[in-house]
Amino acid sequence: MAKTTTATLQKMKNNGEKIAMITAYDASFAQLFEQQGADIILVGDSLGMVVQGQTDTVPVTNAEVAYHTRCVRAGASKPLLIADMPFMTYATADDAMKNAAQLMQAGAEMVKVEGGDWLVDTVRTLTKRGIAVCAHLGLTPQSVRKLGGFKMQGKQAEEAKQMIADAKALEDAGAQLLVLECVPAELAKEITQSIRIPTIGIGAGRDTDGQVLVMHDIFGISTGYIPRFSKNFLNETGRMDTAIAKYVQDVKMNKFPTDEHILA
């Protein structure tokens, strides 16, 4: 497996090759995911829920993400490593630079931020200083308390129009990857076709350039419930290594998500 870079991802989009992304939080699982061909590993602030037992991602700190990023980096070197910037760590461009630097020094190769056009100046500032940025639109878990729960976004025409505009603005500011979470499949398809950079979907249909799932959902061991857009691959295969291999293969062959995993 060759090293995945931002150039690799752009080439994959241009060639119509699907991108397989998965979360990880420690060296052992990171090594397993690398061995099974994952293109991207995300150290998600989802660790607040699946590792710490929180009800959402808001309590997670930058130091905690940096710690888990360092662990993941020790286990895998070939997948592109993205680290989430936690709640309120990028409220200003200065905050973003300081906190992104901590994550990059821990081993991240890209940082992910949640939000729309208000982030344009911050994304531009980070990219000008050599920090690769992944944007995140749709359901933004750090805003879940404002949104009133984990709900699909972009169903209304004005919301969809704004999301398309936000995607283009973030791309123009320098973002090199875009996660679309819990948005209508047709909207995700339109955004994917409207921008040059790759899109990664989670609960966003099958027409994005790639997919991401939380590792605990793939194994069916998440606390609470497994989202409808996810799939328990371990239940299907019986082994962790084959579960991840199946996930990666199904993403790359566009067999996942199926109709049953696409939100209405």
Residues belonging to the active site: 181
CB atoms within 10 A of CB 87: 21
CA dihedral 103, 104, 107, 108 (to 10 degrees): 80
Q: Please, what is the angle between helix 240-252 and helix 27-35, to 10°?
A: 50
Buried b / exposed e along 134-169 (16+ C-beta atoms within 10 A): bbbbbbbbbbbeeeeeeebbbeeeeebeebbebbeb
Partners of 133 in beta bridges = 111
- CA dist., res. 190 & res. 208, Å (int): 9
